[in-house]
Amino acid sequence: MKHRRLAALLLSAAILPAAQASAQSLAAPGQTESDSEWRHAVGLYMFAPLRTKGTSTVGGVSAGIDMDLGDVLDVLDFAASGRYEAWKGDWGIIFDANYAGISEESPLGIGNVKVTSRQKWAAILAGYRVAQGTSGNGQPFAIDVQGGARWNSIKQTIRTAGPTFGGDEGWVEPVIGVRGMWRLNDRWTTIASADAGGFGAGGNDLQYSLNLGFDYQPWERTAITFGYRYLNVDYSTRGGTFAYDVEQHGPYVGVKFFF
């Protein structure tokens, strides 16, 4: 039970970043794609996993993980996620950055123990619009494909009165994705996306997510975005002294600014 709690604390820093590939890049209501030049969007997000299940390995010790949202919020220090997109015609460039950190003193009453974990990543992607048009209600739709690279860093430690366990891992991996956007009316847009990364780079065998959500745009240059996300991660260092094979799902919410 103690090993499971410690692993859960370390793992929880990896589960609050935003939904990947969800920022809107359609022209603003009343503006057509043909008369738009550069279109920009900045988004700030939070992902709240309702359930996290899998296996975590720290210092060669493996433990099963089964956490709800309350378990994560109990130990969360800080989490932030942002995304910037710029599009001109069919081509776009995307920057994505995420950070999450947790800590707890003496979990389960174990004296002289401090558990900390920090996870961050930054990605740069190119986007290409493979299809666009107007649906039956006269509103625009678009489908994009995306590809690029993501830098990851995970630092996690268990400090005791004696030895310190854990380490600091960093790697770069390829990322690909696809996204569809369908405007329902002047205020509502549906967004569906999927992405995958890792493919064995740096020990990350595969990381993928599926996202379905909506943008509600009550103002010309601002939208509220929300939806649901499924995420799966399968990562291990060489030798398997640190690893996690985990799936998560839950809602995300954020705000976007267009200019």
Most confident stretch, 32-41, 59-68, 79-88: 79-88
- Number of neighbouring beta carbons within 10 Å of residue 184: 13
- What are 154-206's pLDDT values in tens digits? 776 766 666 766 667 778 889 999 999 999 998 999 999 999 988 877 667 77
Q: Closest by alpha carbon to 119, among 64, 76, 149? A: 76
Assign 115 a pLDDT band (cuts: 50, 70, 90).
low
Provide the pLDDT for residue 46: 87
2-258 fold: Porin (2.40.160)
Distances (CA, A) of 62 to 6, 117, 158: 10, 17, 14
Q: How far apart are the first and last CA of the chain?
A: 51
pTM: 0.79
Indicate the SS3 state at residue 125.
strand
Provide the pLDDT for residue 123: 93
pLDDT at residue 107 above 70?
A: no
- What are 204-220's pLDDT values in tens digits? 777 888 999 999 999 98
- What are 9-58's pLDDT values in tens digits? 544 444 444 444 444 455 544 444 554 688 999 999 888 878 878 776 76
| Under 8 Å between Cβ of 199 and 174 | yes
Q: Which helix (H) or strand (E) holds 84?
A: strand 76-88
- Interatomic CA distance for residues 30 and 103, integer angstroms: 48
- Interatomic CA distance for residues 97 and 47, integer angstroms: 13
- What are 120-157's pLDDT values in tens digits? 889 999 999 999 999 888 899 999 999 999 988 877 67
| Under 8 Å between Cβ of 123 and 152 | no
